[in-house]
Structure 1
Amino acid sequence: MKISIITVCYNSAATLEKTILSVSTQTYKSIEYIIVDGNSKDNTLALIKKHEDKISKWISEPDKGLYDAMNKGIGMASGDLIGILNSDDTFNSDMVVEHIASFHLQNTIDASIGNIVQHQENGKIIRLYSSKYWNPEKLTIGFMPPHPSIFFKRKLFNKYGNYDLGFKIGADYELITRFFLKNRISWKYSGITTTAMLVGGLSSSGSSSYKLITQEIQKALTMSGIVFDPFKIRIRFLWKIIGFLKK
């Protein structure tokens, strides 16, 4: 089983090397590693060339943003499974991909979902983001599994389409809604903590981002013809607090 790992980046010189090395030290050897760079202006391209022996395919050219770059990577991929590793993240251990491959070989599924840990720049872990109690119906109240923990069969993108560029920060939510809720793909919780993720990012900071992702969650559900209560999505932060208190 070949597994394609896609990293998209732009001006990521400060973090990309750790990401590349995280892939290169995986114990699983049938990995196709793809980097899609958005024509970076810093030292990113030099780092890619420095580690070219660890990269299966790469391109550096202007794009229309994060999701356009992801779609380019999917188009370049030839693996049985596809996973996304962001350019400021690393795999949580050297055996993550091996564990993912074993899990998919043991289960006839279209996708697996797992966990990630979020950490600060000093390495301090501040959160375990788990999919253990997630199910697709939770998309209707604003909850999706952590995107970097999902490994999809590549054929799903051919069948159901790629990331929708009509979304600014919610194209991952829309794709997960389209795959898991509209088309009811087969899936299973792996229990694998796949990724160590640096806090921050497009959709994780500020009231303006919260408002935008709320709008895009509703847009995603509407596009897939899913019935939902807009009020429950707007107050989804309360569900997080309640879940935390229950734990």
Structure 2
Amino acid sequence: MASISIVTAVYNRASTLEQALDSVAAQTHPEIEHVIQDGGSTDGTLELIKARLPSNISLVSEPDNGLYDAINKGISRCTGDVIGLMHSDDFFANDRVLEQVARAMEDPAIEGVYGDLDYVSGTDTGRIIRKWRSGSYTMHSLRRGWMPPHPTLYLRREVYERWGLYDTSFRIAADYDAMLRYMVKGAVRLVHVPEVFVKMRVGGESNRSMGRILRKSREDYRALRANEVGGMGALAMKNLSKLKQFL
């Protein structure tokens, strides 16, 4: 059975990190490594983490050049066969998520797994705001702006080794660029597990202001063009597809 590394990049998230840590620790899969890359937190985040040591947690705290640089550092430290992310504001939907990931990865032809995602209220995590039901995909759907929920994506280590980590010249959309690179240029074989893997608090980095929304759109367009997937049409359909998540 595959060993799984979970990367958490964090900076001053003491108010939400404990739930993320608890949800990783509660997973039933027996071989889990939790790699935490801290950017030098000063709000009690480090104390929360250190109180759980020693455990399966591997902690490094040092300055970084932003979220994706921190994630890249974390991935570079991973020892597991399969690598996924747990953002400091998120948490697993149940304690069997990684068990399902490992089961899907028993097929050696499968290079990655993704699931579904619920957006929840930042103040009441039991209240669902949006439901992202991703479904399976084709190249045609990629050209229509489809993408898997990034926090639910698990990839074999070899995918990162062959096709690279996150491009830190993207400040907001490096995840979208990387996923397109893996799926289009890398032609990696992904399988969808039709269950909610992750609960994500609303209010992420990409939509905190109109300026960030516009920057996200510009970076999404750049990713589409760089990976030869599409242009303005794909970008428009990508944004419009989010409307059904509210229904």
Normalising by the residue count of structure 1, what TM-score does the alignment of the two structures yield? Answer: 0.92
Q: Which residue number corresponds to residue 93 of structure 1? A: 94
Q: Deviations over 1:190-223 (max 9, x none)?
A: 1131111111111134332221111111211222
Question: Residues 137 and 106 (structure 1 numbering): CA distance in 2 closer, same or farther, change over 3 Å?
Answer: same
Question: Residues 86 and 62 (structure 1 numbering): CA distance in 2 closer, same or farther, change over 3 Å?
Answer: same
* Counterpart-to-counterpart distance in 2, 1:244 and 1:65: 29
**What's the CA shift for 1:232?**
4.4
Q: Deviations over 1:148-172 (max 9, x none)?
A: 1111011111101000010010000
1:189 aligned to which of 170, 188, 192: 192
* Counterpart-to-counterpart distance in 1, 2:224 and 2:49: 38
Q: Which residue number corresponds to residue 63 of structure 1? A: 64
Unaligned runs of 5+ in 1: none
Percent of aligned pairs with the same residue?
35
1:156 aligned to which of 146, 155, 159: 159
* Letter aligned with residue 160 of structure 2: F
* Letter aligned with residue 82 of structure 1: I
Check whether the contact 2:32–2:56 (CA below 8 A) recurs between aligned residues. no
* Letter aligned with residue 75 of structure 2: I
Check whether the contact 1:130–1:145 (CA below 8 A) recurs between aligned residues. no
3-state SS of the aligned residue for 1:203? helix
Normalising by the residue count of structure 2, what TM-score does the alignment of the two structures yield? Answer: 0.92
Unaligned runs of 5+ in 2: none
Q: Which residue number corresponds to residue 35 of structure 2? A: 34
Check whether the contact 2:117–2:149 (CA below 8 A) recurs between aligned residues. yes
3-state SS of the aligned residue for 1:26? coil
* Letter aligned with residue 193 of structure 1: V
Q: Which residue number corresponds to residue 4 of structure 1? A: 5
Question: Residues 136 and 17 (structure 1 numbering): CA distance in 2 closer, same or farther, change over 3 Å?
Answer: farther
**What's the CA shift for 1:2?**
0.4
**What's the CA shift for 1:227?**
4.8
1:233 aligned to which of 232, 235, 240: 235
Check whether the contact 2:130–2:245 (CA below 8 A) recurs between aligned residues. no
* Counterpart-to-counterpart distance in 2, 1:85 and 1:232: 28
1:216 aligned to which of 201, 216, 219: 219
Check whether the contact 2:4–2:32 (CA below 8 A) recurs between aligned residues. yes
Check whether the contact 1:119–1:196 (CA below 8 A) recurs between aligned residues. yes
Q: Which residue number corresponds to residue 119 of structure 2? A: 118
- Equivalenced residues, count: 244
Q: How does 1:140-151 map to 2 (within 5 A)?
A: 140-151=143-154
Question: Residues 215 and 93 (structure 1 numbering): CA distance in 2 closer, same or farther, change over 3 Å?
Answer: same
Check whether the contact 2:225–2:231 (CA below 8 A) recurs between aligned residues. no
Q: Deviations over 1:3-44 (max 9, x none)?
A: 001111000111111111111111111001110000012101
Point out the more displaced range, 226-235 or 207-216. Answer: 226-235
Pair 1:206 & 2:212 matched: no
Question: Residues 244 and 44 (structure 1 numbering): CA distance in 2 closer, same or farther, change over 3 Å?
Answer: closer
Check whether the contact 1:20–1:54 (CA below 8 A) recurs between aligned residues. no
Q: Which residue number corresponds to residue 130 of structure 1? A: 133
RMSD of aligned C-alpha atoms? 1.9
Q: Which residue number corresponds to residue 178 of structure 1? A: 181
* Letter aligned with residue 152 of structure 2: S
